[in-house]
Copies of this chain bind each other. A is one copy, B any other.
Amino acid sequence: MTMPAKPFTSVWTREPRGRRGQGLNRDQIVRAALELLDAEGIDALSMRKLGARLGAGATSLYWHVANKDELLELAMDEVYREVRSPVGASWRETAGSVAWGLRGAILAHPWCVGLIGVLPSIGPNALVMSDRLVRACKEAGFQGIDIDFAVGAVIAYTLGAAVPEAAWRGLLNRAGESPCEAQKEMLPAIEGVAAGYPDLLERYKDYTAGGLDPLVARQIAFDYGLVALLDGLDARLPGAGPGMTTDTARDADRDTGRDTDSDAERPVPGTGRR
């Protein structure tokens, strides 16, 4: 039997319903969802509450949106909309600006931390973000698949930095007090847990003792890693001087106990290309 070739639909491939223009429509639902999410977090978003907020029955929403996940996909894309970037800037400026913008957007909508990377991000706004990065890298001189690599690296770093930071902020805020106070308050707990790791503990104490606003500290940390990454990518640009190029721990899983049968966890040998 030949496969019926299922078409792989998504929210973005289906037209929004509701062309009669009265009553509910998709945009207004998404807007209300965002309000709720921003105000009360992801646990507060239920179809019933959302319906009530719109003066509608909970199940009415299902006419406009296939299910809750689709609704969240739509909401996520609105987050990506906030990522602006300058036009006509250098590739480093563009990349940095997208990175900072993405970080800012995530921090401004902390409910998205559990969704990022989990829901597919192929909405229009996510696409314009990607497109900007792709174009910047292309103009910079990256070629072929290296463009994807560079774009992917910048996005990966940014997501990986912003998501835990957003969650961490949530923790600090829940305590009520100022971030700085809260951080000091959980020191005894950390001390108990991290006993036996003197280096680690020293780092934590250093970090908190400086009196530096933790929020600012994270900014500096983010910048540090971002600059390092961009430097490293720059060096990979054709025409750049011979960037320092060691290959990364190619024997990474020689001593990881896992049985990586034929799956792809295994680092490819001889990388560190260009």
Most buried by B among A7, A82, A93, A155: A93
Q: Is A66 in the interface zone, CB < 8 Å from B?
A: no
A64: shortest Cβ distance to chain B, in Å? Answer: 19
* Residue in contact with A219 in the complex, picked from B118, B234, B264, CB distance below 8 Å: B264
- Residues in B with CB closer than 8 Å to A220 are 149, 268, 271
Range of interface residues on chain A? 35 or more
- Nearest B-chain residue to A149, judged by Cβ: B224
* Residue in contact with A249 in the complex, picked from B93, B166, B197, CB distance below 8 Å: B93
Contact with B along A29-57 (1 / 0, CB 8 A): 00000000000000000000000000000
Contact with B along A247-268 (1 / 0, CB 8 A): 1111111111110100111111
- Also in contact, A230 and B227, with CB within 8 A (given A149-B221, A203-B134): no
Say whether B256 contacts A101, CB under 8 Å: yes
- Also in contact, A199 and B134, with CB within 8 A (given A264-B219, A267-B223): yes
List which A178-211 residues lie within 8 A (CB) of chain B. Answer: 185-186, 188-190, 192-194, 197, 199-200, 203, 206-207, 210
Say whether A107 contacts B265, CB under 8 Å: yes
Say whether B249 contacts A231, CB under 8 Å: no
- Residues in B with CB closer than 8 Å to A226 are 248
A33 to B219, CA, bound (A): 37
Say whether A200 contacts B104, CB under 8 Å: no
Say whether A227 contacts B200, CB under 8 Å: no
A157: shortest Cβ distance to chain B, in Å? Answer: 5
Say whether B199 contacts A97, CB under 8 Å: no
Sample of 17 more A-B contacts, CB < 8 Å, known A130-B200, A159-B164? A7-B189, A13-B189, A84-B253, A95-B249, A96-B250, A101-B253, A108-B265, A113-B117, A116-B164, A119-B167, A127-B194, A148-B206, A149-B225, A153-B228, A160-B163, A215-B263, A224-B236
Interchain residue pairs with CB less than 8 A apart (16):
A9-B189, A13-B193, A84-B253, A92-B248, A92-B249, A96-B252, A97-B252, A100-B248, A105-B258, A107-B263, A119-B167, A127-B197, A153-B157, A153-B229, A223-B248, A225-B229
